[in-house]
Structure 1
Amino acid sequence: MRPLLLLGLTPLLAACTPSLQGQPAPDVVAQLPTPADSAHVRVVVMGDQGKGGAVQKQVAQAMQEVCAAQGCHLGVALGDNFYPAGPKQASSPLFQKLFADLYGPLKIPFLVIAGNHDESWVVGGDGADAAGAAAQVAYSKLNPQWVMPARTYRAPVGDLVEFFALDTAPLAPYLPPVRPNEFPNGAWDRAQRAWLAGALGRSTARWKLVLGHHPLFSNGKHGEAGHYDRFPLAFQRGEAARQTYLLACGKADLILSGHVHSLELFAPQTDCTGTWQLISGAAGEAGGPKFGQRPAVFDAFGQAGFAWLDITPQVITVRFYAAKEGRAMQIFEGQIKK
C-alpha cells in the first residue's frame, strides 16, 4: 500500500547535501558471549519475518533444523519484526507470539534492528514513528534473547567479527517523520552517520558486518537505495540510506539487509567497492518476482527462506535455505574470502 503523498511539504522535504557534521550517536555496545571455538561464529539471518502466519512458522522450523545440524551461535533479525505495524509498548503480547514462541527454542541471542513496519505511524510500513523502535529497545530488557540495546549499536564477537546495527527506517520513510529531527539528513541521521564512520574506523575486528533493514542494492520490487519504489520525493526514495551505506563501502566486508522479500547476494560493485551485500528478507512470506537487472552472485525470488553464515578468520561461508513445509532445503553455497 502506498501512503498519500504530502505534496504540500515538498519544498520543506527537499533533499539536502548529506553531511557528517554534528555529534555522533552514542557508542552503544551489545555484550555477546564468545563461542567456545573462537575461530568459528555461525549466524542464522532472517528478515521481514513478522507476518505471523504459516510461512513464518515453517521458516522458523527450518531454521531450527539447520541450527541443530550445522550449529548457530547467533541470530540476526533484519527488521519488519512485526506486520502491519510494530507495537508501541514492550509489554505487548506480540513479542511473545511473533518472537519468543517461534525463536526461543533456538536458545541463541538475536541481534535485532527495526524496519519500516516496526516504525509505523499512520499507515503500516510508513516508517515515520520511531516509537515502535523504542518499544523494541525496551523489550530487550525483558528478554535477553532479543539483543537491541539501542536503535544504533555495535556488537563485537571476540576479535573475529563485529556487527554494526543501523536504524534505516528514518532514512527512507514514506511519510514525514513524527519528530522533525528525524527527517532524512536531519540531526538524527547525521549523528548515526557520524557514529558509523567512526565505529568502522576504530574497529579492529577481522570481519565487519553492517546491519540495515533497507538494502543498498536489490533486484526486488522496492529497488535500490536512492530510487526506492520510484517515489517522487527524495526523502522517500532513500537517498539518505544510500549515503549512509556508502560510508561502509570498502570499510565493511558485508552489508546485511531485508525489506525486499527475497534472498540475494551481490559481490562488490563499482559503486560500492570492497563490500559484499546479502539480502535475507524472506522469513515471513515468499515475495514477488524479480524486477532489477543488477548482476548478482545469487538470487531467489518467490521462495520463503533465510541465510546462514559460517564466519572464520579467512572465509565467510554463505548458505541460503528455502523452507519447504517446515523443512530446510539448501539452495546456494558460496564464500567471501579475505
Structure 2
Amino acid sequence: MTDNSPRPVDSGLKRRSLLAGAAVAGAAATLGGGRIGIGTASAATHFTLPKGADRLHVLVTGDAGTGEAPQFAVTRAAREIHARKPFDIALGLGDNIYESGPNGPDDVQFHTKFEKPNASLDFPWLMALGNHDNSAVFPGDGGWLRRGDAEVAYHRRSRRWYMPSRYYSVDLGVAEIFVLDVNPLAAYIPPILSPEWEPGGRYMTEQARWLDRGLRASTAPWTIVCTHHPYANNGPHGPAGAFDGLPAPLNGQWLKDFLERHVAGRAHFLFSGHDHSQQVLDAVPGLKGTRQIIAGAAAKTVHASSSRRFRARYENYTDRGFMTLDVEPAAVTLTAYQVAAGRADARKAFTTVYRR
C-alpha cells in the first residue's frame, strides 16, 4: 500500500482490478534468468556480526525505504534507544527502496533511503527483498526479480547493509536467522514465463532444500525466519492465499503452501513486513506453533481496521513504529514502539515474553 490517507469504500476493488490487469499485461515482461546463490560476506566491509552471542538486542523494521520525514522520525526514535542500550543487529523486512527498487548497486537511492536515515545506527542490518525492490511494470508488482540483484551487489559497498545473497542465514549463537526471498511466490506479475523462477523451478526448489537443511541442523536456542510477505495478516493486504482479494495465482497461494511446508512448526518466529502495520499474532492455524509477527510500519501506515481474521495480542494500523527483540537462551522479549506524527520519541506500546 502506498497511499497513507483514508480510502473510499470501493478503492480495494479498483486496486484489485489494477493488479489483475497489470499482471496480464506484464506477463511477457523481462523477468530474467539466472540467480545469485548463497553467498558469504566480505568481513572487511561490514560491522561485525555478533557470532556466538549469548544474548542479542535486535531492531526490527520493515517497509522503511522512502527517504522521507516519517522514516527519519522512526530512525531518530530508534537512535534514542540505541544510545541507552545498543543494538547488535537490525532486521530489515523488505521494501527497502521505494517505490520501484534501485537502478543498479550504485543508485543514489541507497544513500538517500538507507544510509542517510540510518546514520549512526552502526551495526549490521540483515536485509530481505520485498516486492517494491523487484518492480517491473508498476511500483511493487514484484515482476522484475533480477532488479533485486542490485541490492545483493550493494552488500559489497556498505558497512551496514548485509545481504550476501537473495536468501541466506546467519548463526549468531543464541539465535539463527534465516532470511528468505519469497518474491517469486507472491509477485503481482508471477514468473510464469521464466522456468528458473517458477514455484517449482530451480530457484525456489533449491531455496526450500537449503531452508529444510538449515532449520533441521540448527542448534540455536531460537530460530527466526524473515520474509517480506506474511503468512497471516489482519491488515489490508490480507494473508497468503488471499492477498488483496486477487484470484490465484496472484493471491499468494504458492507462498502459503511454501511456508506451511517448510517453516510451520520448524521455526520459532516468522517476521514479515508488506502490510504497513504492526501485528503480534497468536496461535495462527496452519503455522503449527510458529509465531507470526508483522513489522511493516517503519515509514508508512494504512489507516485501516483489523479484519480480526487471526487472533492478535497487539495490532496498530495508524502509527508508524518499530519493534525490538531481547533474545536470551530461555526467553525472547518483544517490544513494539509507536512513533506518532509530530513527536521525536517513541512510545512503548506493547511488550510480551516468549519462553522456551
**TM-score when scaled to structure 2?**
0.85
Q: Does 1:318 align with 2:334?
A: yes
Q: Does 1:41 align with 2:56?
A: yes
On the 8 A contact 2:236/2:302 being kept in 1, the answer is no
> Which whole-Å CA distance do the structure 1 matches of 2:159 and 2:175 have between them?
21
> Which whole-Å CA distance do the structure 2 matches of 1:9 and 1:81 have between them?
23
For residues 3-42 of structure 1, the C-alpha deviation after alignment (integer angstroms, 9 at most, x for no partner) is 32455999x9xxxxxxxxxxxx955455784649932201
The number of aligned residues is 323
> Which whole-Å CA distance do the structure 2 matches of 1:88 and 1:191 have between them?
27
Kindly tell me: are residues 103 and 9 of structure 1, through their superposed partners in 2, closer, same or farther at Cα, counting changes over 3 Å? closer
For residues 143-166 of structure 1, the C-alpha deviation after alignment (integer angstroms, 9 at most, x for no partner) is 121000000100111x21110011
Give the match for residue 222 of structure 1: 237
- Matched residue SS, 1:105: coil
Give the match for residue 73 of structure 2: 58
Q: Does 1:166 align with 2:149?
A: no
Name the aligned partner's letter for residue 344 of structure 2. G
Give the match for residue 11 of structure 2: none
Structure 1 residue 110, shift from structure 2 partner: 0.2
Q: Does 1:211 align with 2:229?
A: no
For structure 2, the residue ranges without an aligned partner over 5 or more in a row are 1-14, 29-35
The sequence identity of aligned pairs, in percent, is 32
> Which whole-Å CA distance do the structure 1 matches of 2:26 and 2:279 have between them?
35
Kindly tell me: are residues 8 and 289 of structure 1, through their superposed partners in 2, closer, same or farther at Cα, counting changes over 3 Å? closer
For residues 276-311 of structure 1, the C-alpha deviation after alignment (integer angstroms, 9 at most, x for no partner) is 111100001122212421111111111100110000
On the 8 A contact 1:185/1:240 being kept in 2, the answer is no
> Which whole-Å CA distance do the structure 1 matches of 2:180 and 2:68 have between them?
27
- Matched residue SS, 1:128: coil
Is 160-169 or 170-179 further displaced after alignment?
Answer: 170-179
Give the match for residue 296 of structure 1: 312
Q: RMSD value over aligned CA atoms?
A: 2.2
Name the aligned partner's letter for residue 174 of structure 1. Y
Give the match for residue 186 of structure 1: 201
Q: Does 1:330 align with 2:345?
A: no
On the 8 A contact 1:29/1:154 being kept in 2, the answer is no
Query: Superposed, which structure 2 residues align to 1:25-174 within 5 Å?
Result: 26-28=37-39, 33=48, 35=50, 38-157=53-172, 159-174=173-188
Match 1:238 to one of 248, 252, 257: 252
> Which whole-Å CA distance do the structure 1 matches of 2:305 and 2:184 have between them?
26
On the 8 A contact 1:79/1:113 being kept in 2, the answer is yes
Name the aligned partner's letter for residue 347 of structure 2. M
Kindly tell me: are residues 169 and 144 of structure 1, through their superposed partners in 2, closer, same or farther at Cα, counting changes over 3 Å? same
Structure 1 residue 103, shift from structure 2 partner: 1.0
> Which whole-Å CA distance do the structure 2 matches of 1:243 and 1:287 have between them?
27
Kindly tell me: are residues 186 and 235 of structure 1, through their superposed partners in 2, closer, same or farther at Cα, counting changes over 3 Å? farther
Is 181-190 or 48-57 further displaced after alignment?
Answer: 181-190
For structure 1, the residue ranges without an aligned partner over 5 or more in a row are 13-24
For residues 199-244 of structure 1, the C-alpha deviation after alignment (integer angstroms, 9 at most, x for no partner) is 1111111110001000011100010011111112x22111121122
Is 108-117 or 242-251 further displaced after alignment?
Answer: 242-251
Name the aligned partner's letter for residue 141 of structure 2. D
Name the aligned partner's letter for residue 332 of structure 1. F
> Which whole-Å CA distance do the structure 2 matches of 1:90 and 1:298 have between them?
37
For residues 41-66 of structure 1, the C-alpha deviation after alignment (integer angstroms, 9 at most, x for no partner) is 01000000112211111011111112
For residues 169-210 of structure 1, the C-alpha deviation after alignment (integer angstroms, 9 at most, x for no partner) is 111111133744212333322221222112111111111000
Name the aligned partner's letter for residue 353 of structure 2. Q
Kindly tell me: are residues 201 and 329 of structure 1, through their superposed partners in 2, closer, same or farther at Cα, counting changes over 3 Å? same
Give the match for residue 284 of structure 1: 299
> Which whole-Å CA distance do the structure 2 matches of 1:29 and 1:225 have between them?
30
Give the match for residue 18 of structure 1: none
- Matched residue SS, 1:56: helix
> Which whole-Å CA distance do the structure 1 matches of 2:92 and 2:145 have between them?
17
> Which whole-Å CA distance do the structure 1 matches of 2:26 and 2:146 have between them?
23
> Which whole-Å CA distance do the structure 2 matches of 1:185 and 1:9 have between them?
21
> Which whole-Å CA distance do the structure 2 matches of 1:7 and 1:94 have between them?
30
On the 8 A contact 1:173/1:235 being kept in 2, the answer is no
> Which whole-Å CA distance do the structure 1 matches of 2:23 and 2:70 have between them?
35
Give the match for residue 6 of structure 2: none
Give the match for residue 8 of structure 2: none
- Matched residue SS, 1:196: helix
Give the match for residue 20 of structure 1: none
